[in-house]
Structure 1
């Protein structure tokens, strides 16, 4: 399977060029590897990451929290890059990518997400799980 066959686990992007994406490059039953990419007209960067089964389960919990309208964090205080998500009243996400272990840097972007962004992310999660089971 090539990386072109694997969907991004995370894909927040808007028409202003702001995006935070977790591009999956390799996938097996225990983990996936890829890059978290942060892009805007102001900042561009990426960091390698490994996502384990418990991280994928936690991502589903994060999506559930967002569905309920709660602000949330993925992989908070763990061995990997964290992603914090805050919803605002204008259907935008404030996405903070925190790389404590590697660069000791944080990047924050406000992303105007499309109307169906949450359904799209549940579908991405389902597709990743299906590919891992094959």
Structure 2
């Protein structure tokens, strides 16, 4: 399941949920495997990550802010990749995404 997919034709950014970490194991039941995919004309990258239900709730709130035209920062907790999205970057006059692991 894709949480977000942004592309301008040459560059792409996606966050995908791949599934449960260990279905049936109670202590890992709610942990999800996910990935961040970044592509461009000169580089491609994949970053694995884990999500909990609270991360998805935070993502929902972040998307509401993004829809209202505000910059967002998701998973700024020193243990996860930080994802920042600007709906309009004035320098480049486009949306901008930054991922820091």
Q: Deviations over 1:32-91 (max 9, x none)?
A: 212211110122111110111111000011111112211110011341111101121798
Aligned to 1:13: 7
Residue 95 in 1 paired to residue 97 in 2? yes
Moved segments of 4+, more than 2 Å = 89-92
Gaps of 5+ in 2: 24-28
Higher-helix-fraction structure? 1
Alignment of 1:1-134 (within 5 A): 7-16=1-10, 18-27=11-20, 30-88=30-88, 92-99=94-101
Structure ranking higher on relative contact order (CA contacts 8 Å, 6+ apart) = 1
Instruction: Indicate the structure with greater strand content.
Output: 2
- TM-score between the two structures when normalised by the length of structure 2: 0.78
Q: How many residues align?
A: 92
